[in-house]
Structure 1
Amino acid sequence: MKRNLSLALACSVALVSCGAPSLVWSAGPEPVIVNRGNPIIRDRFTADPAPLVVGDTLYLYTGHDQAQGDAMFDMREWLVFSTKDMKTWTPHAPIMKATDFKWATRDAWASQAIEKNGKFYFYAAVSHDDSHPGMAIGVAVSDSPTGPFTDARGSALITNQMTPEGTHSWEDIDPTVFTDHDGVTWIAWGNRDCYIAKLKANMTELDGPIRKITPPHYEEGPWLHKRGGLYYLTYASLDRKTQSAEHVSYATATSLDGPWTYRGELTGSAKNSFTIHPGIAQFKGRSYIFLHNATLTVGDQGGAVGRRAVTVEYLQYNPDGTMKPVVQTEAGVSVPPPPAH
């Protein structure tokens, strides 16, 4: 009886929204989100997407926007969703709260997870307590990509005082992590300036100096990846003279030590959203870019600066390794990709 009721509810949701992207919950043992377009997740607000591919599964880590009314940001925890086909998504339990870092006070901001040495390491931006005022980056660890994650250090990996050239307390945010072919893992981060450093093999300590690699119009949200022999630094950009919202731009290099060559804009701004945040993955022979916008309405709460929703688009490359401009759409990857030229 319960299964039949669930099926009926799922069917009714699909029928009501026939012809438009929608959220459908399956009648199986676990709820499954069926991707019918952008945004992907439609029962809650999500932001700052960070994909991780493990075997035949793509895990998508997000922040959880919970701002009410005119509030800007209220982000208390991180979520994870998984897919094997980019069509159906399984939501998992929240993996961690900001205050699970005992030295943190709030603000579960952008994050990224990476697999190494048989474990999963999760790097995230939070507000530090008064012992190190400002935003900081912590690292947590788990035996599973779906957590739960626990603080791997008992202290912040990066604090605001470690980048003294910055002029504001929230410059140490938005970590991205990448393991190169030699096994060395790097971390990049930053608001208004982009910083990069190596991580020790234990993944919980920096290995050497912090360097600044800020490309043109850099604002925040860096993402490191590699394709062939080329490294990519993709980021939320803002030309403060001409733009009123962030776009996505990128730079490339033949070494993580640089120099980095600016390649221009990859996307325009996100609909209804000042912020945008790229996350890139290659999965089962195709490349994808995850973003967010503010087009979703949940109950009586519409999209806003603190109520965003994750989207995904196909990502394609030119023969010279540059990335083709990405147009943000409602259909997303619910339709076949455009032909490669």
Structure 2
Amino acid sequence: MKKTIRIVFMLMCFLSVIKMKAQNPIIKDIFTADPAPIVHKGTLYLYTGHDVATEQDTNYKMADWHVFSTTNMKDWKDHGALLSPSTFSWATGDAYAAQCIERDGKFYWFVSTFHKKDDRSGGGAAIGVAVSDSPIGPFKDAIGKALIINEMTTDMKYAWDDIDPTVFVDDDGQAYMFWGNGSCKWVKIKKNMTELDGEITTFKPKNYIEGPWVYKRKGLYYLVYASAGTKPEMIEYCTAKSITGPWTYQGIIQENVQNSFTTHPGIIDFKGKSYFFYHNGSLPTGGSYRRSICVDYMHYNKDGTIQKIIQTTEGIGKIK
């Protein structure tokens, strides 16, 4: 009997140690998805979706967008739901993937949701932009209408292809937005970050499905995305010497995630290290419609190619 009690006690201690060491998922009190990190004045801000589907639901229910922040990659502050589709008078439906970017002292939050049927659009997925003087708001609709509506892109013959915007400002000051489900689209954005600056270009990288993330590192451009080469999704990527391509396929960097059909990349350098954010369904009662954001280290080879992401429950170390 004493031996049994001792074994149970040791097992409980062991599980307690594992729990203390397990950082991933990094947000545990609500279900979060579609991570989008930025760094501003020594703080990393993480913009996320918010899954509110029940365990019985068989489709996405995403109520709003949240913001979290950290200075050490271990302690996360929840700033709450700072934006929702109801912020936009033209919007309806769910809060799909989004990204916030800073320019000239203002913060532009590009979001994907759905458009009401009205004189401008027959409905379908749309992209809007909110603006604030602070990374934690308050945010308001920057232009009073959608930046992208379904009628602007016709290559995909369904209504939900205009989702998942990622925005990048190049060294010469020119801004670009990439987005799309089924095909990848890109367009130049004017300096005011609220108007298109030219025609929309559509292309399809190998195995591309959705969730693009565009950035530049040491003169090389990266297009990272969720792939449809297998199901569930993986993360694959291309590189280019120009933001407009041509893009060279480089391969898979993240395999399937735990207990979720989808995954979504968010990549950032912060205080000397590179980090890869993603979501899975690993929280208790989690799943494809109840996802949670994780973060692990990201490493590059000397030629700029990305090493395979090692998914862990431990996550990353605390920054002093």
Structure 1 outlier segments of 4+, above 4 Å: none
- Pairwise mapping of residues 83-102 of structure 1 onto structure 2 (< 5 A)? 83-102=70-89
The count of residues paired between Structure 1 and Structure 2 equals: 303
Alignment deviations for residues 143-175 of structure 1 (CA, whole Å, 9 cap, x no partner): 110112110010000011100111111100000
What is residue 7 of structure 2 aligned with on the other side?
none
In the other structure, the counterpart of 2:140 is 150
Tell whether 2:9 aligns with 1:19.
Answer: no
RMSD of aligned residue pairs (Cα, Å)? 1.5
Q: State how 1:1-341 maps to structure 2 within 5 Å.
A: 18-21=16-19, 36-71=22-57, 72-131=59-118, 132=121, 133-239=123-229, 243-297=230-284, 302-334=285-317
Partner of 1:303, secondary structure, is: coil
Question: Secondary structure, in 3 states, of the residue corresponding to 1:92?
Answer: strand
The one-character-per-residue Cα deviations of 1:26-82 (angstroms, maximum 9, x if unpaired) are xxxxxxxxx841100001100000001112000000000000132221111100000
Taking the aligned partners of 2:315 and 2:248, their CA distance within structure 1 comes to 29
CA distance in 2, matches of 1:334, 1:118: 31
CA contact (8 A) 2:22 2:313 kept: no
Shift of 1:221: 0.3
Query: Identical aligned pairs, as a percentage?
Result: 50
**In structure 1, how many angstroms separate the alpha carbons of the residues matched to 2:146 and 2:80?**
24
Q: Give the letter aligned to residue 130 of structure 2.
A: A
Letter paired with 1:160:
N
Q: Is the CA contact (8 Å cut-off) linking 1:36 and 1:334 kept in structure 2?
A: no
Q: TM-score, normalised by structure 1?
A: 0.86
Residue 74 of structure 1 contacts residue 306 of structure 1 at CA under 8 Å; is this kept in 2?
yes
Displacement of 1:20: 2.5
In structure 2, runs of 5+ residues without a counterpart are 1-12
Cα deviation, residue 19, structure 1: 1.1
- Matched residue type, 1:318: N
- 1:255 Cα offset (Å): 0.4
The AA in structure 2 aligned to 1:226 is: K
Unaligned runs of 5+ in 1: 1-14, 23-34, 337-341
3-state SS in 1 of match to 2:316: helix
Q: Aligned in 2, Cα 1:16/1:96: closer, same or farther, shift over 3 Å?
A: farther
TM score, norm. by length of structure 2: 0.92
Distance in 2, matches of 1:91 and 1:250, equals: 31
Instruction: Provide the C-alpha distance between the structure 1 equivalents of 2:149 and 2:33, rounded to a whole number of angstroms.
Output: 23
